[in-house]
Structure 1
Amino acid sequence: MTIKLPKWAKRFLAENIRYKVAYGGRGSGKSWNIVRMLVLKAASNKTRILCCREIQNSIKESAHKLISNQIDELGLSSIFSITENSIKCANGSEFIFAGLYRNVDKIKSMEGINICWIEEAQNVSRESWDLIAPTIRAENSEIWVSFNPKLKSDETYQKFIVNPPPNALVLRVNYQDNPFFTEAMREEMEYKKRVDFDEYLHIWEGQPKISSKAQVFYGKWEIKELGDLNGASCYFGADWGFANDPTALIKCYILGRNLYIADERYAKGIEIDELDNFFGSMSGAKTAHIIADSARPETISYLNRQGYSISPAKKGKGSIEDGIAFIRSFERIYIHPKCVNTISEFSLYSYKVDKYSGEITAQIIDDNNHAIDALRYALEPLIKTGPSTIGLRLDI
């Protein structure tokens, strides 16, 4: 039997590791492919598989139907016995279904579980995670996790995305990774992308939900083709990448009381000897003056030797807050649709929300801000000389 699986699913099968996590947005095929892999494992060798979710009031709320359909589609019905509440294979394999909430004693008593699949894991509480880890204790047992993120503060997101354990394979899986993504779903996705980019990021890209009012630039920006910017003042700014952080170059314009973000270069893993071509591919970058993060003087020096004109940003105490206030002082911020990483950062750059009260604090989360930092550096001379330079008011 030849079974087609996407690349991420093959890693689930190939690697022997305690936690295997697939998270992301709608249309990725996470559950469908996980079920297919579990059925194949059950058919190949005796395997006890616990399928659970936080709340399961009846078998209809479980993956029972999805597994049954996959068995039939794979042509394996002759070796599986499917009843209303259980699924067993002739080789002794078994699928067990349970809700985590209020089933502590039942789950604790389970023996010999080889794989525990937790679906819709975004809803799983800390208490349930504390229950699962010691319960799945068979030799070489694995815990498979699939979920669409809701909030960054959710227990599962914190456990596997923010602070992943060392024995975990964590894969972000989205519709781009699904070779069976339908045209009907694509049309739905593209529509959401056009009319509500925040919701698109959450639903289709698997970004955690952020209260719109927690966005640092809430209500100030929109995606728009920029058209003719004759007479506008042009500014360039750069932020250097460290480790897993991206390098970002931003080209922006000011015309009247509006800020226009026209182009970006944004990528991880750019080596210093690749920067000339990387930056040089942006129109005007090599002839304009660029203000860059001062943390990498050797990088600035290297690029200046390649013919660029780059100076370090002054930064200093309060420079982030001053820069944000200045950017917000524009009547409108327009971002060209091709600046996808800048758009993503403007959607995600946010103030911290108190996890208990739900109140938005004044503390800015230091994340999703590389293009935004480059933008602040680009505008630094105007921030220091004051808004009168371009006829703007700083009140927000």
Structure 2
Amino acid sequence: MADKELHVQLPQVFSELFTPARYKVFYGGRGSGKSWAVARTLLLMALQRPIRVLCAREYQSSIADSVHKLLTEQIDAMGLSAWYTVTKAGITNSAGSEFIFKGIHHNIMEIKSTEGVDVCWVEEAQAVSEESWQVLIPTIRKASSEIWLTFNPLEESDPTYQRFVVSPPPGAIVRKVNWRENPYFPDVLREEMEYMRRVDPDGYAHVWEGEVRTISDAVIFKGKYEVRAFDTPENARFYFGADWGFSQDPTVLLRCFIKDKTLYVDRETYGVGVDIDDLARHPGERGRSMFDEIPGSRLWPIYADNARPETISYVRQRGFNIRGADKWPGSVEDGIAYLRSFERIVIHERCKHMAQEARLYRYQVDKRTEEILPKVEDANNHCWDALRYALCKYITRRRGGQPVFKPTGY
């Protein structure tokens, strides 16, 4: 290879594959080119110096289950066939590099005895169990050896997601990559992606955006909401609701309106760690004024979480018509019942945090039996709390039945 110069393009997001690190984790949705980029990078690296690459996955009953085919295709696509030798069981090259392929789960002793691995590429890493990680990681022990992961997330509780995304090892390179980062994203996949985005927001978020999957029947607003662009009527009667951030929780302000028994959420502003000075400022005062980021916020009443009276007072002193929303035992459940009484909840596509919470806000699930419990999970609820506060004057206490829908006009 010394007399031949290669020019191989990779999306910019994968440039860190060439940065030394013990762990390199690239996860996300379909169409991002993760596996393609890793295959190309490893094939190039293997021509610069002799390395041993272990291509592993949790289950591999035959070589057809591995990335052998992908690597072979990329050897041909990059014009490297003169330097690589491909057999049914492995791949070697003229620089002395070797690619070997193993399943972890059924080959524990083989994995333990594998020596001299420079790079271990774990494809479809979402399926790897905690027991397999405990075997594999100590096996990759050569000086400066690296472990690379590519996967599409499944459940948040999966060992791989917890170990490498929720609580990654120190110094790990962890990047979420999706179709947007792939300049070679094909039109045929784009058509599939756009169709799913329209008809199945939850499925789109999981498949294409790489979000963890939810237990769909536990999702509180399953089948009730949609995410799309829409025009706001000029004569809309707006409702504003605010939820305050605590520690790592976000502060949220939402705007919504009602039309034909459909609830529309058309604006949001959202921030974590927002200083109180940046929540609201006097007109003309310099600096961020979060509440002024939504048009009309000084004109319409705002109802907020009443747990922070001092914050409500601060915002009111700066010219906003804000007050605390009423609460009572069961007010969260009553608010959910009222919101579900709308024929449809439509979230504007620019309200990204509201849309994300819509697919994640759910009832608690028994971890052992997977039974859905009659308790609301205290997570992914900040936008929904703000929405309940916005409409708090229309939410009534239940007396043995569901709240009656009150047409409020717009």
Mean CA deviation greater in 190-199 or 102-111? 190-199
- 1:22 & 1:338 partners in 2: Cα distance? 26
Residue from 345, 360, 385 that aligns with 1:333? 345
Shift in alpha-carbon separation, 1:12–1:370, aligned structure 2, 3 A: farther
Shift in alpha-carbon separation, 1:12–1:228, aligned structure 2, 3 A: closer
Contact 1:229 1:255 in 2 (8 A): no
- Displacement of 1:173 after TM fit? 0.8
Indicate yes or no: 2:323 matched with 1:311: yes
Residue from 47, 51, 54 that aligns with 1:47? 51
- Matching residue of 2:210: 206
- Matching residue of 2:370: 358
- Displacement of 1:243 after TM fit? 6.3
Indicate yes or no: 2:195 matched with 1:191: yes
- Matching residue of 2:294: 282
The letter for the 2-side match of 1:328 is R
- 1:251 & 1:92 partners in 2: Cα distance? 63
Contact 1:249 1:374 in 2 (8 A): yes
Contact 1:233 1:255 in 2 (8 A): no
Instruction: Quote the sequence identity (%).
Output: 48
- 2:403 & 2:333 partners in 1: Cα distance? 19
**What pairs with 1:335-350 in structure 2 (closer than 5 Å)?**
335-350=347-362
Shift in alpha-carbon separation, 1:391–1:5, aligned structure 2, 3 A: closer
**What pairs with 1:76-115 in structure 2 (closer than 5 Å)?**
76-115=80-119
**What pairs with 1:253-264 in structure 2 (closer than 5 Å)?**
253-255=257-259, 257-264=261-268
Structure (1/2) with the larger helix percentage: 1
Superimposed CA distance per residue, residues 44-87 of structure 1 (whole angstroms, 9 cap, x where no aligned partner): 12221110111111112111121122223333333322222111
Residue from 21, 25, 29 that aligns with 2:25? 21
Shift in alpha-carbon separation, 1:364–1:2, aligned structure 2, 3 A: farther
Q: How many positions carry a matched residue from both structures?
A: 392
Q: Which runs of 5+ in 1 are unaligned?
A: none
- 1:136 & 1:86 partners in 2: Cα distance? 19
- 1:8 & 1:250 partners in 2: Cα distance? 33
- 1:229 & 1:370 partners in 2: Cα distance? 26
- 2:200 & 2:226 partners in 1: Cα distance? 10
Mean CA deviation greater in 347-356 or 292-301? 292-301
**SS class of match (1:345):** helix
- Matching residue of 1:175: 179
- Matching residue of 2:283: none
- Matching residue of 2:145: 141
Q: CA RMSD in A?
A: 3.0
- Displacement of 1:10 after TM fit? 1.5
Superimposed CA distance per residue, residues 319-351 of structure 1 (whole angstroms, 9 cap, x where no aligned partner): 433432332243432333443332221122122
Mean CA deviation greater in 61-70 or 356-365? 356-365
- 2:328 & 2:169 partners in 1: Cα distance? 36
The letter for the 2-side match of 1:261 is V
- 1:192 & 1:367 partners in 2: Cα distance? 26
Residue from 383, 391, 406 that aligns with 1:379? 391
What TM-score comes out, normalization by structure 1 length? 0.87
- Displacement of 1:237 after TM fit? 1.2
What TM-score comes out, normalization by structure 2 length? 0.84
- 1:13 & 1:295 partners in 2: Cα distance? 49
Shift in alpha-carbon separation, 1:128–1:385, aligned structure 2, 3 A: closer
Shift in alpha-carbon separation, 1:392–1:219, aligned structure 2, 3 A: farther
Residue from 9, 15, 40 that aligns with 1:10? 15
- 1:166 & 1:319 partners in 2: Cα distance? 42
Shift in alpha-carbon separation, 1:147–1:8, aligned structure 2, 3 A: same
**SS class of match (1:78):** coil
- Displacement of 1:184 after TM fit? 2.3
- Matching residue of 1:236: 240
- 1:361 & 1:235 partners in 2: Cα distance? 31
